Amino acid sequence: MAGKGNPIASPGASKNCLLKAIPDVEIDTGKLKYILVKVHDPSPEKSREYKHIVRGSSKATYHADIYETLEDKILAEGLDCECLGGGRIEHDASSKKIKISGYSQAYGKADHSVTYLMLMRKYGSNYDISISKDDKY
What residues are labeled active site?
A: 63
32: phi > 0 → left, psi -120 to 50 → alpha, else beta; which? beta
Picking from 48, 52, 74, the residue whose alpha carbon sits closest to that of residue 6 is: 52
Give every CB contact of residue 94 below 8 A, 6+ residues apart in sequence: none
